[in-house]
Amino acid sequence: MRPVTLGFYLQASHVPGMAYRIEFRKDGVVSGEIHDLEDRETAKLVAVEQMARFDAEIAIVIDVDGRGVEVASITREAMAWDDEQTPGPL
C-alpha cells in the first residue's frame, strides 16, 4: 500500500528551517503522511484529527529542520502524547 500524502494543511507563510511532518503507522508500516506543518502544536492537533482517516495505530511528529528526529508520538490505544508531562499526585 502506498502512503497517502495530504497537502491541505500547508500554511500560507512558511518559516524556513521550521517544519514538521506527521507519519501515521499501522502494523509498523507508514499508512500516510502530512508534510510542511509549521509548528509542533499544530502538528499534534492535526495528528489526532487524522488518525482515524489513516486507520493508524500511532502518529509520529517529526522535526524535519535538517535533523529529522521524532519529537512526539501518540498511540490510538493511550491517546496521550509521550512528550507531555502527566500531573503527579497532589
**Tens digits of per-residue pLDDT, 75-89?**
999 888 998 866 555
Q: Which amino acid is at 71?
A: V
Q: Give the sheet arrangement for strand 20-26, strand by strand.
A: 4-6, 29-37, 20-26, 58-63, 69-75
- Number of domains making up the chain: 1
Residue 89 within any structural domain of the chain: no
Q: How far apart are CA 22 and CA 48, in angstroms?
A: 10
Model confidence pLDDT, tens digit, residues 21-78: 999 999 999 999 999 999 999 999 999 999 999 999 999 999 998 678 999 999 999 8
Residue 66 within any structural domain of the chain: yes
Residue 87 within any structural domain of the chain: no
Domain with 51, as residue range(s), is 4-75
What the block records as the C-alpha cell of 63 is 522535526
Residue 84 within any structural domain of the chain: no
pTM over the 0.85 mark: no
